[in-house]
Amino acid sequence: MTVHPILELAGVDLAYGKTTVVHGLDLAVAEGASLALIGESGSGKSTAARAALGLLAPGAGEVRFRGTALGSLDAAGRRAYRGAVQPVFQDGPETLDPRQRVGSAVAEGLRLPRDERRTRVRRLLTDVGLDPELAERRPHELSGGQRQRVGIARALAVDPALLVLDEPTSALDVTVQARILDLLDALRAERGIAMLLITHNLAVVDRLCDDAVVLEAGRVVERGPARRVLDEPQHPYTAWLRAAVPELGGTLPGLG
């Protein structure tokens, strides 16, 4: 029996209008594994994340979920994909609706009777290290780290198989970053969730990822086990990114 990666981007070109910003991207995330897509701003990594989430159709190549191209999914298949693959974005004003209470935000994807939904929301908030009583608050009443945990709880509500994490800690101070990374690491271990991490922060890759793909100006310039890519970069661009992190083991509290 063939075992497919949970997510594949195979020869994917991505464009805005007539401008191609990602060229022939190949990557694969194994079940339960974590892969980093690394690059500076403008490298095309967030565009690739949109394709992985099914929000941007490739001009060439395919995005596949467990071996099936997204473009061939019927309506039921697309609904299943949207549940199985969940985004977690960096904390920002667009992440949570300021008019919506935290409990309602976490419960958006749940199709349960009211009492069961309330119990599930409280459990999810507890699972991400939040007081369940925060369900009654609105986003502006929370800290950045709390809002990010709410975003993770919302993603977990539908029991996803894969999280697409787009710079999930970049808006947080280093102490809170470390706590969020500890949470993500624990969730992966406990639930077997695969992760595609979109980032420019090599310290986060060091903490969280098995493998890495480096993207420069929309093209892959290096790939391999994350530890090898970080410790022994083969491409000048990767070496330049690495040089910007003086001490990987000490950049974030708890790393190494």
**Spatial CA neighbour of 171 closest among 65, 93, 67:** 93
User: What's the pLDDT score for residue 201?
Assistant: 87
Q: Compute the distance between CA of residue 73 and CA of residue 51 in angstroms, rounded to an integer.
A: 15
Residue 94's pLDDT band, with cuts at 50, 70 and 90, is low
Q: What sign does the CA torsion over 93, 51, 194, 237 have?
A: negative
Q: 101-146, pLDDT tens digit by residue?
A: 999 999 987 888 888 889 999 999 998 889 999 999 998 999 888 9
Residue 254 has pLDDT above 60, yes or no: no
Q: Is the pLDDT of residue 169 over 90?
A: no
Under DSSP, the state recorded for 143 is -
* Three-state SS annotation for 167-182: CCCCCCCHHHHHHHHH
Q: Is residue 168 classed as helix, strand or coil in its secondary structure?
A: coil
The residue among 244, 238, 215 whose CA lies nearest residue 44 is: 215
- Taking the whole predicted model, whether its pTM rises above 0.75 is answered as yes
The domains of the chain are located at 7-250
- Identity of residue 20: T
Query: What's the CATH fold of domain 7-250?
Result: Rossmann fold (3.40.50)
